[in-house]
Structure 1
Amino acid sequence: MRIAVTGTHRAGKSTLVDELSDLLPDHVTVDEPYHQMEEEGYAFAESPSVEDFEAQLTRSLANLDEGPGDVVFDRCPVDFIGYLLAHEDRDAFDLEAWLPRVRAALRKIDLIVLVGVEQPDRISLSATDDDGLRLAVDEKLKELLLEDPHAFEVEVLEVEGSPRARAKQVLAHLADASR
């Protein structure tokens, strides 16, 4: 089973990935592209540019091409589409050019777990967090995945609650799907 955990920044994705890693010990965990690239020396702008998000999108697509098996991905290509569509320079992003590659890559994912911003918000934000961007990306991701205007045609499970409750929702969904 190939699972991608998606959502805006500071929504609880990585915490859910950690929970799933404990509960699904047969699954390999793949860190999000930002951390992979940063570790390799990629220099991101303080406020990520369209080029930074496109580079992460490219890495996310490559991550999905790597080996078969049971994997939990921290982020998927749709995350970066969401960020690019919410970016102040979104007109510089050519969505149509990327859609065929994104659709093909998403066929390699069995389930996308969407971690949205909840009301009341479960995450404490620092003064440096851009809550406007965070909420705009959350809205874009829900539109992209739940309304599916670009025919991604991937199974999506939206989760809520505490990290453990979210993980239990994923496990229950997996158990139902295996029946």
Structure 2
Amino acid sequence: MRIAIVGAHRVGKSTLAEELLMNLPGYILEMEPYYQLETSGHEFSEIPTAEDFIEQFNYSARLVSKSEGNVIFDRCVIDILAYLHVIVPGMNIQLLFEAAQSVIAGIDLLVFVPIEEPDLIPCRQTDLPKLRSRVNNLLYDWIGDFGIEVIEVGGTLSNRRDQVLAKIS
């Protein structure tokens, strides 16, 4: 089964992905494309740019397309595309959206980690809280548009983990 965990920054996606990995023997974890690219030497802008998100989008699409077996993806083309759309609202993303739909067809379960009220992981001003909120709202609008099974998780880490495990069992 291929599971993609999506959401805005600082909502607990990586923490949930790591927790699921510890509870799902035989799964591998594909870390967030940003970190994989950074580790391989790619230099990102200090302020996020459209080019940065397109690079991550393409990398994420390749990860999903080449994956086999049981994989957990920390971030996916959907949330990367949401960031791109929010930072460059006038950009025509129709072709990228269609590409995302094609890529997402290879995912079995989409796990959406929204910002909760009250926010469980408060954002500092340096964490771009407005960007985070806009991406979260856009993901709420989009997650049903991809034709795959979606679960929205909430609560503590153990609650989130148990929600996903119950869904896949």
Q: What TM-score bracket applies, with the shorter chain setting the length?
A: over 0.9
Q: Counterparts of 1:2-41 in structure 2 under 5 Å?
A: 2-41=2-41
Task: Tell me whether 1:158 sits opposite 2:152 in the alignment.
Answer: yes
C-alpha contact 1:50 1:90 (8 A) present in aligned 2? no
C-alpha contact 2:82 2:135 (8 A) present in aligned 1? yes
SS state of the match for residue 125, structure 2? Answer: coil
Offset of 1:65 from its aligned partner? 1.2
SS state of the match for residue 90, structure 1? Answer: coil
Matched residues in 1 for 2:14 and 2:98: separation?
A: 28
Residue matched to 1:60: 60
Task: Tell me whether 1:173 sits opposite 2:167 in the alignment.
Answer: yes
Matched residues in 2 for 1:80 and 1:127: separation?
A: 21
Task: Tell me whether 1:120 sits opposite 2:114 in the alignment.
Answer: no
Offset of 1:126 from its aligned partner? 2.6
Task: Tell me whether 1:139 sits opposite 2:118 in the alignment.
Answer: no
The percent identity for this pair of structures is: 39
Residue matched to 2:46: 46
Matched residues in 2 for 1:64 and 1:119: separation?
A: 31
Residue matched to 2:93: 95
Q: What are structure 2's unaligned runs of at least 5 residues?
A: none
Matched residues in 2 for 1:64 and 1:5: separation?
A: 12
C-alpha contact 2:4 2:110 (8 A) present in aligned 1? yes
**Please, which moves more after superposition, 111-120 or 124-133?**
124-133
Offset of 1:98 from its aligned partner? 1.4
Q: C-alpha root-mean-square deviation of aligned residues, in Å? A: 1.0
TM-score of the superposition, structure 1-length normalised? 0.91
Deviations 1:42-71 (A, max 9, x none): 111111101101110001100011131000
Cα 1:127–1:101 change in 2 (3 A) is closer
Offset of 1:127 from its aligned partner? 3.5
C-alpha contact 1:82 1:140 (8 A) present in aligned 2? yes
Structure 1 runs (4+) greater than 4 angstroms displaced = none
C-alpha contact 1:20 1:167 (8 A) present in aligned 2? yes
Offset of 1:77 from its aligned partner? 0.5
One-letter amino acid matched to 2:153: V
Offset of 1:169 from its aligned partner? 0.1
